[in-house]
Structure 1
Amino acid sequence: MELRKLRVFVEVVRQGGFSAAAETLFATQSTVSKSVRQLEDEIGMPLLNRIGHRITMTEAGEVVFRRAQQLLADREDLIAELDDIRGLRRGTLRLGLPPIGSSVLFAPVFTLYRKRYPGIDVSLVEHGGDRLDELLQAGEIDLAGSLLPIPEQEYDWQTVRCEPLVALLARGHPLKDAGPVTLKDLKDVPFILFESGFALNRIIIEACRAQGFEPQIVARSSQLDFVVELAAAGLGVAFLPRMIADERRRAAVDYVPLKGHETDWNLAVTWRRNGYLSKSAQAWLACLREIHQDV
């Protein structure tokens, strides 16, 4: 059983279809379909139910998916461990960071790391926290920027920054002088959120439900500046960590503090608790601690 075929199958499940998986794998759809079909022939059972353009896993598919994720993660651990034998003169650090806050918090760490370890190649991917969690679980990245809380039995972490959220409202909104507001105070205002896969969305929506309402979501975007401009245009209310909001001040936007700690933006760098943490990853964490002395 080839790991390459398992990798293709895992990506088809993750992406929810063959065409999306083909884009992620930089392969043709026919190549992806053929690889999954060969895997099914080798196992002797169907792994996927194909219903139109939608797929679901069979019982066998669920077993293979779970085991394949672990096998792929073990392979990456093996490669990382062998790189460590060579020392930090060369190797790769696979890093996953969220788009929100990375430029401020991690750019200085990059600079220090590059200066000390010029032979280490840093492979960077940027996604929302939920997608980074998938990549971390599969062993495709060594470290991920994640919002706490996270499952303690699965991850270890190093805290980076904790910031309260602020609500972004168009200039002159009636709530602008209300002082700190709760999410419930904003329940009649349409919400502008980030794209699905951003952990900040989940924190906001869960906090709304805890306060007894379901938010009306009027727009989603992965572009931070566009989210701010939508709020400035009066489309609804957006939310940013205070530190990020201060960087993106707009004359057309009022910034209202959000009351309560249940929505705090608590950013950490995480890694798999039972995975192998390479020396290159350990060196990155040391640089992170040095830059952010209050961690």
Structure 2
Amino acid sequence: MELRQLEYFVAVAEERSFTRAAERVHISQSGVSAQIRRLERELGAELFDRSARVATLTVAGKAALEHARAALAAAGATGRAVGEVTGLVRGRLSAGMVVGCTVTPLFEALAAFHRAHPGVEISLLEDGSDRLVEGVRTGALDLALAGTAALPEGLETLTVVSERLVAAVPADHALAGRPRTTLAELCAHPLVCMPPGTGVRTVFDRACAARGLEPAVTLQASAPDAVADLAARGLAVAVLSASMTEHHRDRLVTLPLDDVETPALLVLVWKSTSNPAVRELLAHARRAFAAPDAG
């Protein structure tokens, strides 16, 4: 008894026709008939009543149908189980990370995955958030950590950070004495920002456009620490998210932006049809980002 015989048997039973079953399994009708006859000889009973135009199950056929379906399902499950194990024993996993951002929990997740599955080759690409998300969409990347102003449509996401924007200035700046500021006040000064395509910049640009403001972005840097450092030296007012200024509190005063309510997001993105290696890495990532010292 072979699995293909059971497949053909189930196809004929469900289609109630040898002709339609042959079309379904993509072989000739004579081939289906021959394999069903062979199966019947092995079982010692006829499975179909062939006296009518419609193929109907005999009593023996009815008794065999559910077992045949179960055998095919078990064979499929076996193949999937082996495929998942194989995917975690050897293979490739491509991850992406937003440029200029050192995200320790992601590194912890990659390291834990590597220890558990050393046979899987890991690659890590640093790029702009827009290109990272597009890489996940096209399949060039399996998973990416990207900054964005809104959750990407059509992809699975895990929000790691959701923060409002702040302005950061040195203590002797004209804005430093205020408890908070607005976009209009901010745009009266030269600005240093992260480049277009990052989550923080996207939120900022959209907020300015919605109010008809044209900010004077005179300096750009990919790394948040570089943006903060340039601001601390008095070259321009920095636009960052709240946590990006934490390590510079001794040099910078942070001012919440009253009229920018949309948060900047840092999210893990992946496809819902991701392979077993991605699902395993995600399990490590969830634990790493949930750890008390993940921030």
In which range does the TM-score fall when normalised by the shorter chain? 0.5 to 0.7
| CA drift at 1:195 | 2.7
Whether 1:244 aligns to 2:244 is: yes
Aligned to 1:292: 289
User: Which residue number in structure 2 is paired with residue 210 of structure 1?
Assistant: 210
For 2:264, the aligned partner's letter is W
Q: Deviations over 1:87-124 (max 9, x none)?
A: 31222111111135442342222232223222222210
User: Distance between the aligned counterparts of 1:255 and 1:99, measured in 2?
Assistant: 23
**Contact 1:158/1:270 (CA < 8 Å) preserved in 2?**
yes
Distance in 1 (CA, whole Å) between partners of 2:264 and 2:226 is 20
Q: How much does 1:176 deviate? A: 1.6
> Offset at 1:232?
1.6
Aligned partners of 2:168 and 2:249: how far apart in 1? 10
Kept after mapping to 2: 8 A contact 1:167/1:240: yes
- Check the 8 A contact 1:97/1:124 in 2, yes or no: yes
Q: CA–CA distance in 2 between the matches of 1:197 and 1:117?
A: 33
Name 1:192's counterpart in structure 2: 192
| Structure 1 spans left out of the alignment, 5+ residues | 1-81
Cα deviation code 1:20-39 (max 9, x no counterpart): xxxxxxxxxxxxxxxxxxxx
Structure 1 residue 171: Cα displacement: 2.5
Q: Which amino acid aligns with 2:268?
A: V
Aligned to 1:103: 103
- The whole-number CA distance in structure 1 between the counterparts of 2:201 and 2:174 is 24
Partner of residue 280, structure 2: 283
For 1:235 and 1:119, the matched residues in 2 are separated by 48
Larger radius of gyration: 2
> Given the alignment of the two structures, is residue 165 of structure 1 paired with residue 162 of structure 2, yes or no?
no
How far residue 148 of structure 1 moved from its aligned partner, in angstroms, is 4.4
The equivalences for 1:177-188 within 5 A come to: 177-188=177-188
3-state SS of the aligned residue for 2:87? coil
Percent identity over paired residues: 30
Q: Which runs of 5+ in 2 are unaligned?
A: 1-81
Opposite residue 281 of structure 2, the aligned amino acid is W
In structure 2, C-alpha distance between the alignment counterparts of 1:210 and 1:97, rounded to whole Å: 29
Shift of 1:250: 5.8
**Letter of the 1:266 counterpart:** L
Equivalent residue, structure 2, for 1:89: 89
Distance 1:238 1:105, change over 3 A: farther
Aligned to 1:23: none
The amino acid of 1:210's aligned partner reads: A
Contact kept? 1:101, 1:244, Cα under 8 Å: no
TM-score (norm 1): 0.63
Note if contact 2:149-2:200 (Cα within 8 Å) is conserved in structure 1. no
The residue that corresponds to 2:65 in the other structure is none
| 2-structure distance, mates of 1:105, 1:169 | 29
Does residue 255 (structure 1) correspond to residue 226 (structure 2)? The answer is no
1:86 is displaced (CA, Å) by: 1.4
Count of aligned residue pairs for this structure pair: 211
Q: Is contact 1:128-1:199 (8 Å) kept?
A: no
Is 95-104 or 213-222 further displaced after alignment? 95-104
Deviation at 1:84, TM superposition (A): 4.1
